[in-house]
Structure 1
Amino acid sequence: MKAVLPALALLLAAAAPADQAPVVRTDGGALRGATADGIASFKGIPYAAAPVGALRWHAPAPVAGWTGTRDATGYGNDCVQSRMPGDVANSNQPMSEDCLFLNVWTPQPRAGARLPVMVYIHGGGFSTGSGSAAILDGTRLAARGVVVVTLNYRLGRFGFFATPPLTREAAGGATGNWGLMDQIAALDWVRRNIAAFGGDAANVTVFGESAGGESVGRLMVSPAAKGLFVNAIAASGGGRDSWPDLAAAEAKGVAFATREKVAPDDLAALRALPVDKVQGGINLLNGDEAHYSGPITDGRIVTGDTDTLLAAGAARGIRAIVGSNSDELGFIPAPFLKAFAEKASATLGPGADAVRAAYGSAESYERHVSSDLTFTEPAFSLATRAATAGAPTWLYRFGYVAEEKRAALPGAVHASDVPFQFDNLAAAGITPTAADLTVAKQVADYWTHFAKTGDPNARGLPAWPRFAPAAPVMLRIAGDKTDTAPADAPTIKAIAAARDAAKKK
């Protein structure tokens, strides 16, 4: 017997990795994932059919099921895009139109665990980004007792494109916002399948930053997303802008077809255009505005502006966290800030003079107004509207800068909060100090406790009061401490008043 035991032990050890590989069954088929640090991950899961050929510019179609057990240990393709060099939100995955994949991290990959679910929508101006970026690895959030999902959605002209024949083809259904349809399809996949990964389909939090945060706001008030989530976190997502209507988007679609020497009514020829022609170099620096609409007020998924619909109670029943960073556009060189400020203030109409006066000096106005117009005031106004309409809401301002970056950055710039949300500072190229790690833990704890209970407050965290429009207070996550502060600064109130007055005309 003693001679047999060592051999048996070696046999068991050799078999252990395969035996421990978690397997779950979805409505498409079985998936085999991997386990690391006590967390199971399943990557590259198709949530819709590849949007290629006749499915380019088509609503997401169901996945064809597979036989056997599909390997889910590697990410899928990124959606086609023109990546921004040096962006930590990039991934290294190949790009393809066949890109509708999502990823799941779970501490309990078994049905019946009923863990809260957090679904993340990446940013990138609706033209770049990936759910497979290293900073979005869900391991450290999942270790807090939640199931984490990240996803890809169609970008640029693949994701947002309309022409009259496409509208006719939709036969009264949604058209143009293919990327938003992808997000909704992914959330519907979560509803149908997340229980197999240990998640609770009745307790889903959708969260995102930048274009992802704006998507969250749009989904909160969209009839097409009703019932797919109960909590929402919109980080640096704006929300006071108006998207072009369907007719304007169709006109740009026709202009694109004309440029490419394709008859606008010839959908087969449009769908056969090479990938690089359709992509056209669109990214954050190249909007190709004469031929590309971006996201659309299509009348089905997006029925109006987020702020207007929030005020009308369209998000009733959804609990929300809304916020922005302290110096969103602080990465813009000072010589360019004046031009940004002039362009931004042109949207304020007669209230522009009052806004300038609220800043106290031309220097302060030029330095801050673009960030405040684009991110700070929208977060304040969305929180005000949601709370006034009865939605439990919390407002924050993220102002923490990693210690090694403080010499170069006076405040938290756009997207610098994302590695803190995921507690993934090292993945962002940061060598974290103890203080950095403390703040990352704090933010991730707030986010996951909100997902668990619908309230970000938890023992050991600084108290975060629920937003009250009559006496608005925000959580301020700053360099030295996390505390609360009044949210209605004179500059923000002046911008809000100017915008509201302009919108009434």
Structure 2
Amino acid sequence: MKTLVSGLILFVFVCGLKAQKPNRTSEIEVPIVKISSGQVRGVIEGDVSVFKGIPYAAPPVGEFRWRPPQAVKTWDEILDANKYGSNCAQGGWGAAAGTLQEGSSEDCLYLNLWLPANAESDAKLPVMVWIHGGGFTGGSGAGQVTSGEAFAKQGVILMTFNYRLGRLGHFAFPALTKEHPDEPKGSYAFMDMIAALKWVKENIAAFGGDPDNVTIFGQSAGGVAVHSLLSIPDARGLFHKAISQSGGGRNGVLTGRPLSEDNVDALYPVSAETIGVNFARKQGIEGTDEAALAKLRALSVEQIVAGGQETDGQGGERINSGPILDGKLVTETAESAYNAGRQAKVPLVIGSCSGEIGGAFVNLSTTKEALFSSFGELKADAKAAYDPSGRKEFAEVQTLFNTDWVWAEPARFTARTFVDSQTPVFVYQFGYVPASMKNWMPYGAGHGAEIGFVFNNLMNRDGSPVAHKDQDLAKTMNAYWVNFAKTGNPNGEGLPVWPLYNYEKEEILDVELDGNPIAKPEPRKARLDVIEKAFKFRERMQNRGGI
């Protein structure tokens, strides 16, 4: 990703002053910006200024483990912001058992910026903040696919950042609940996200950005986080538009677990505190008092991240508690907020891919008949919607069912609640599968397939040149996202029309299997209708205490 510094351009930003004009006689030029914590020096890569590894909060280590993000200590010397900070501590993905993934650390609260190299410090450029996915246990704000050059070249400042993951990002324990009673508890990852957005509000003007035109967008767990931020009161006013890519919208495993046993319910019969206590026991830590908490804080980061599964006390297993409803920071799930119209009223883009994930992701059925039977009284409706001819392979039906249950129908549900609150919403389905990926995605575009297109950063696994057709679609997708960040409407000159979603036509932008973006009435309507009925049936049964 890194390129040689090019051009003889001096671009010095100073907080509150205009940027100096380029001095083309200098040897090597670097941009310097004064922010609230000190001066930072970036690099010029072509016609883009890049700042990497800027701390937005103090390292969350020692006494600050499982505490809200603390203020950064100021510095006197110029900080060279020319390389990514450490990723947040995580295992898996190539890490040996009991170790951290290479390049990850508990000291990880850093952000990165891409902006036009020729921008003035008073340019008031729109800002986009990317929230990475990874199931709240992996991922980072660094990486070639999600670097922001394409956004910067179209007049947008792109920010990526890290947030705490796994048990460091979402964790509860009785002594933690009692400690610092004025502080929010549980979802430290969300606290990090809010701290990063507050950093934008305080500092982005020094880079030429507009703190009053900020768009958050994320995929998978990042898309779930977008829903959460839309419904967390402390996040209000920190962003002005939102995009949720494959983030769902209904209650589920990544949406909010009760903090204590006092608030468990049918969907979450085990509290986050119970899961935390079980984890402590696996580490040989008994009790739930301050002494036990001190021992938890004394554990190595490897023990925290790679500590194995803890039982829920009822024969089940939980790896991490996930987002936590503490009643102070996270006061309700996004679905609850949407149903009551309590979400932030900001323009929204929402959608998913056409064939997100296959296998027994949602349902353990091993045949079509068993899967359709799991719909109960809706069995005939499910069969008619998913396999009317009876000739589809089980694997295809299973993939489509997973996609609709977790992502597509919850996205439609969310869109409808935005229409109800008279808030603009645009819905998409991304279904394009490049020729090089058809063996990997036989039933439609898989989870995350759109990311490289949105960022206009495409690469083939084998290193071969990217097809012109793929490049054209990437330019189109990136332009939609840029336009939305600038105006709240993804449409623009030369782009296929993307209609505003409404009840009358229920039109979406469907990026079809061949890569053509076309506006059409929801093509999955029959499938999504039966999933909606299944959700309503589940809700009725829960209210009766049945499931």
Scaled by the length of structure 1, the TM-score of the pair is: 0.89
**One-letter amino acid of the counterpart of residue 23, structure 1:** I
1:162 match: secondary structure: coil
**One-letter amino acid of the counterpart of residue 134, structure 2:** G
Deviation at 1:15, TM superposition (A): 4.4
| 2:274 corresponds to 1:251 | yes
Aligned to 1:468: 502
Deviation at 1:289, TM superposition (A): 3.5
Aligned to 1:448: 482
Alignment of 1:145-224 (within 5 A): 145-224=155-234
Aligned to 2:268: none
**One-letter amino acid of the counterpart of residue 183, structure 1:** M
Give the Cα separation in 1 of the matches to 2:376 and 2:328.
Answer: 30
Give the Cα separation in 2 of the matches to 1:339 and 1:324.
Answer: 25
Aligned to 1:495: 531
Greater RCO between the two (CA within 8 Å, min separation 6)?
Answer: 1
Give the Cα separation in 2 of the matches to 1:342 and 1:269.
Answer: 51
Structure 1's 476 and 290: CA in aligned 2 closer, same or farther, altered over 3 A? closer
1:16 match: secondary structure: coil
Aligned to 1:8: none
201-210 or 101-110: which moved more?
101-110
Q: Residues 190-229 of structure 1: CA distance to partner in whole angstroms, max 9, x if unpaired? A: 0100001111000000000000001001101110100000
**One-letter amino acid of the counterpart of residue 413, structure 1:** G
Gaps in structure 1 of 5+ consecutive residues: 1-11
Give the Cα separation in 1 of the matches to 2:128 and 2:45.
Answer: 19
Give the Cα separation in 2 of the matches to 1:54 and 1:230.
Answer: 34
Structure 1's 347 and 211: CA in aligned 2 closer, same or farther, altered over 3 A? farther
Deviation at 1:94, TM superposition (A): 1.5
Q: Residues 10-66 of structure 1: CA distance to partner in whole angstroms, max 9, x if unpaired? A: xx989421xx20000110100000011210010000000000000000000000000
- Residues 134 and 427, structure 1, Cα contact 8 Å, conserved in 2: no
Aligned to 2:288: 264
| 2:51 corresponds to 1:42 | yes
- Residues 356 and 403, structure 2, Cα contact 8 Å, conserved in 1: yes
Deviation at 1:314, TM superposition (A): 2.2
**One-letter amino acid of the counterpart of residue 420, structure 1:** F
Deviation at 1:485, TM superposition (A): 2.0
Structure 1's 352 and 147: CA in aligned 2 closer, same or farther, altered over 3 A? farther
**One-letter amino acid of the counterpart of residue 302, structure 1:** V
Alignment of 1:342-361 (within 5 A): 351=378, 354-359=381-386, 360=388, 361=390
2:145 match: secondary structure: helix
Deviation at 1:501, TM superposition (A): 3.6
Gaps in structure 2 of 5+ consecutive residues: 1-22, 261-270, 310-315
Structure 1's 22 and 153: CA in aligned 2 closer, same or farther, altered over 3 A? same
Structure 1's 190 and 176: CA in aligned 2 closer, same or farther, altered over 3 A? same
Normalized per residue, which structure has more helix? 1
Aligned to 1:376: 408
Give the Cα separation in 2 of the matches to 1:343 and 1:28.
Answer: 59
Aligned to 1:412: 445
- How many residues are aligned here? 482
226-235 or 487-496: which moved more?
487-496
CA RMSD of aligned residues (A): 2.7
Give the Cα separation in 2 of the matches to 1:459 and 1:186.
Answer: 33
Aligned to 2:427: 395
2:518 match: secondary structure: strand
Aligned to 2:86: 77
Give the Cα separation in 1 of the matches to 2:220 and 2:501.
Answer: 21
**One-letter amino acid of the counterpart of residue 385, structure 2:** A
Aligned to 2:17: none
2:325 match: secondary structure: coil
Give the Cα separation in 2 of the matches to 1:403 and 1:354.
Answer: 34
Give the Cα separation in 2 of the matches to 1:319 and 1:400.
Answer: 25
Structure 1's 347 and 70: CA in aligned 2 closer, same or farther, altered over 3 A? farther
Structure 1's 181 and 136: CA in aligned 2 closer, same or farther, altered over 3 A? same
Scaled by the length of structure 2, the TM-score of the pair is: 0.83
